[in-house]
Amino acid sequence: MLAIQDLKKVYGQRPVVDIAQLKIGAGETIGLVGNNGAGKTTLFRMVLDLIRPTSGSVFSKGEDVMHSDNWKNYTASYLDEGFLIDYLTPEEYFVFIGSLHDLSLADVKDYLQSYKEFFNGEILNKGKYIRDFSKGNQNKVGIAAALMQNPELLILDEPFANLDPTTQIRLKTLIKSLKQQQTMTTLISSHDLNHVTDVCDRIILLEKGVVIKDFHKDENTLKELEAYFAE
Ligand SMILES: Nc1ncnc2c1ncn2[C@@H]1O[C@H](COP(=O)(O)OP(=O)(O)OP(=O)(O)O)[C@@H](O)[C@H]1O
């Protein structure tokens, strides 16, 4: 699904991402972990062609994301509130995103109905603009809008941050159930080692822009990660 080749991003003199080669297969659920400033968001931004690499490329289904638009049809992401439209209500935003993906009003309505539990009564029919919601509730809108697109490739930057514990658990359940369909490749960055090892099958550990570890999850993964970060 994704292939990263000699990818480098340098700010000033400092490389903040430096990955010679990384392949992510279709259907994989990847957890990207690393301390503050490790380069997780910068990597996601290059995968989504939001920023350009200093050198190297990201290929999505074999096509360089810098020189192709095809990946936009099957990729959904939520990195931060910048992905939202502040002056819309959540309902208006979902309808807008739905219209970009040929979803009818009825489709969007059905979808929102199925997310009632995830929204926990805090998102719909509030008569409020997105800008007036708390950061956690804005995250819920962004994550739900990304999932609504039924993407082949889903990219979420720290999706558990700012969510209340109930919603964190519901989000994990949601991601696990989508994973079972085996049609979605998922990249999730997180500082929450418990959550990320719970939902992801493969963990990539980034430190100062470099991949330090890349392994498939087993029963020891959480302990190994905790030991690594405790050093
Ligand atoms: N536009 C920019 N100009 C200069 N430096 C930048 C810019 N964007 C990111 N950086 C630097 O690149 C490094 C990687 O940042 P990035 O946000 O990718 O890390 P991260 O792993 O997502 O961190 P966090 O866990 O804190 O969100 C940091 O040192 C950051 O200061």
pLDDT digits (tens, 9 = 90+) for 50-67: 999 999 999 999 999 999
Q: How far is the CA of 179 from the centre of ligand 1 (A)?
A: 29
pLDDT digits (tens, 9 = 90+) for 193-217: 999 999 999 999 999 999 999 999 9
Q: How far is the CA of 123 from the centre of ligand 1 (A)?
A: 30
pLDDT digits (tens, 9 = 90+) for 104-157: 999 999 999 999 999 999 999 999 999 999 999 999 999 999 999 999 999 999
Give all domains of the chain, ordered by start, each with its CATH number: 1-74+153-231 (3.40.50.300), 81-150 (no CATH)
Q: For a substitution probing ligand 1, which of 7, 8, 36 has the most ligand atoms within 8 Å of its CB?
A: 36
**pLDDT for res 201:** 95
The ligand 1 site (C-beta within 6 Å) comprises: 11, 16, 34, 36-42
Give the position, in ligand 1's atom list, of the atom nearest the Cα of 42: 18
Mean pLDDT of the chain: 95
**pLDDT band at residue 178, thresholds of 50, 70 and 90?**
confident
DSSP string, the chain: -EEEEEEEEEETTEEEEEEEEEEE-TT-EEEEE-STTSSHHHHHHHHTTSS--SEEEEEETTEETTS-SGGGGTEEEE-SGGGS-TTS-HHHHHHHHHHHTT--HHHHHHHHHHTHHHHTTSSTT----GGGS-HHHHHHHHHHHHHHT--SEEEEESTTTT--HHHHHHHHHHHHHHHHTT--EEEEE-S-HHHHHHH-SEEEEEETTEEEEEEE--TTHHHHHHHHHH-
ipTM score of complex: 0.97
What is the reported pTM?
A: 0.95
